[in-house]
């Protein structure tokens, strides 16, 4: 189990340029991979264009109480980047003045940002249709000050989205750390107790599954069925939907792929599973990702690769619909992760 972020370990993969170099040139013995750009050109989908903004995903900081093996953020307790209240205020202005219907707060552990509660309180006054917080669950047990979060979420009608890579302790703890499974189950029960995830409840509780190794996720509907059965029968836990997410070959997952000598095979598997029908629905077409420092990206993955939006408006304080709608999406080889099989986004498969 990883104990420190790539940044703390001074790994060469902490450098986004190095990651892009590996992704672009490959470290392949038998020739390169087709370029994602060429692949989408085959069906006249290049350049990929942004449509009107519907989803704002805000990364409020890279600090986290966990150091999961596959984290694409390279988050952990040793990351100190957190969004300031001033930047949050700028996000609020954009939410107020645009047609954003979904807000997605992510991190790290977003709850660790000292202004998290203030931001949730202010945002919830704006009547966003779907206000998601990606909670890793264990944060609620990590410190006394977080224990009341289930009630806080309920008060503000937050849609809670939480990772649980497997219904077994072994697979979950291997990917997310010792003790994570038991702690997650306890917190899921606490969320159920206040009404989250219950069959007829409007308090949404969804789980996120990402594969625990170098393979693509299985069918989302079938996995959801299995998760529901086991979690209910073995632990009495309810939840609403399961989102399956493909691990993108960046950051700590890229590190894992290279260290386990799975990188080439995984990239070939993504290309092999390329689905041109998934391209038109990739999440970057209606989403903007805001970094902890306010800079704008087409998605959270591009944020981690430090690939900013291709627009004159680079920062949330410069938000301008005319400049951002219709922009060309910045793509690279990691994008194959979004178009493999049924496709993948932060809200699950695209098919
Ligand atoms: S809980 Fe999420 S943000 Fe934190 S290390 Fe794990 S994957 Fe990364
Ligand atoms: S990685 Fe980002 S930019 Fe590439 S297809 Fe996926 S969402 Fe779009």
Q: What are the tens digits of pLDDT across the range 59-78? A: 999 999 999 999 999 999 99
Specify whether the CB–CB gap between 60 and 103 falls below 8 A: no
User: Residues lining ligand 1, CB < 6 A?
Assistant: 64, 66-68, 71, 73, 75-76, 107-109, 136, 176
The pair of three-digit structure tokens given for residue 251, joined into one six-digit string: 């950051």
What residue owns the CA closest to ligand 2's atom 1? Answer: 335
Q: Which numbered atom of ligand 2 lies nearest the CA of 339?
A: 5
Ligand nearest to the CA of 287: 2
Q: Ramachandran region of residue 144, left (φ > 0), alpha (ψ -120 to 50) or beta?
A: alpha
Q: What is the pLDDT of residue 237?
A: 98
- Separation of 72 CA from ligand 2 center, angstroms? 13
The Cα 191–Cα 199 span in angstroms is 13
The pair of three-digit structure tokens given for residue 301, joined into one six-digit string: 């993955």
pLDDT at position 160 over 90: yes
* Chain segment 246-300, per-residue pLDDT in tens: 999 999 999 999 999 999 999 999 999 999 999 999 999 999 999 999 999 999 9
- Separation of 198 CA from ligand 2 center, angstroms? 33
Q: Does ligand 2 lie within 6 Å of residue 346's CB atom?
A: no
Let me know the angle formed at the C-alpha of 220 by 191 and 274, rounded to the nearest 5 degrees: 135
Output the pTM of the full model: 0.96
The Cα 338–Cα 281 span in angstroms is 9
Q: Which of 68, 140, 146, 179 to mutate to test the pocket of ligand 1 (most atoms within 8 A of CB)?
A: 68
- Angle formed by the axes of helices 116-124 and 85-97, nearest 10°: 20
Q: Residue 131 phi/psi, 5° resolution?
A: -110, 100
Pair type for strands 55-59 and 159-163: unpaired
Which residues, at least 6 apart from 58, have a Cβ–Cβ distance to it below 8 Å? Answer: 83, 91, 103, 104, 105, 106, 289, 290
């Amino acid at each position: 189990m990883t104990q420190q972020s790539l940044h703390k370990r001074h790994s060469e993969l902490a450098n986004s340029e190095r990651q892009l170099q590996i992704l672009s040139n490959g470290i392949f013995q038998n020739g390169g991979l087709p370029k994602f750009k060429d692949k989408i050109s085959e069906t006249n989908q290049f350049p990929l264009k942004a449509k009107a903004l519907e989803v704002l995903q805000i990364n409020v900081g890279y600090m986290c109480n966990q150091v999961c093996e596959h984290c694409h953020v390279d988050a952990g307790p040793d990351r100190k980047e957190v969004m300031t209240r001033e930047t949050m205020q700028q996000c609020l202005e954009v939410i107020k003045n645009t047609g954003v219907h979904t807000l997605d707060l992510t991190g790290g552990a977003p709850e660790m940002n000292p202004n998290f509660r203030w931001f949730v309180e202010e945002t919830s006054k704006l009547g966003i249709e779907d206000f998601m917080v990606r909670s890793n669950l264990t944060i609620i047990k990590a410190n006394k000050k977080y224990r009341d979060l289930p009630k806080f979420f309920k008060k503000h009608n937050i849609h809670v989205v939480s990772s649980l890579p497997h219904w077994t302790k072994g697979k979950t703890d291997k990917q997310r750390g010792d003790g994570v499974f038991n702690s997650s189950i306890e917190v899921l029960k606490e969320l159920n107790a206040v009404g989250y995830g219950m069959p007829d409840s409007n308090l949404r509780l969804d789980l996120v599954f990402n594969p625990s190794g170098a393979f693509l996720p299985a069918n989302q509907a079938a996995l959801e069925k299995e998760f529901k059965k086991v979690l209910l029968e073995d632990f009495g836990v309810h939840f609403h939907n399961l989102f399956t997410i493909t691990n993108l070959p960046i950051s700590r997952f890229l590190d894992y792929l290279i260290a386990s000598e799975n990188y080439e095979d995984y990239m070939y598997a993504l290309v092999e599973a390329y689905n041109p029908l998934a391209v038109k629905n990739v999440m970057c077409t209606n989403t903007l990702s805001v970094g902890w420092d306010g800079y704008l990206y087409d998605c959270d993955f591009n944020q981690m690769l430090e690939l900013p939006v291709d627009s004159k408006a680079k920062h949330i304080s410069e938000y301008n619909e005319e400049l951002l709608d219709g922009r060309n999406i910045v793509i690279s080889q990691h994008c194959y992760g979004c178009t493999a099989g049924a496709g993948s986004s932060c809200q699950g498969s695209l098919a």
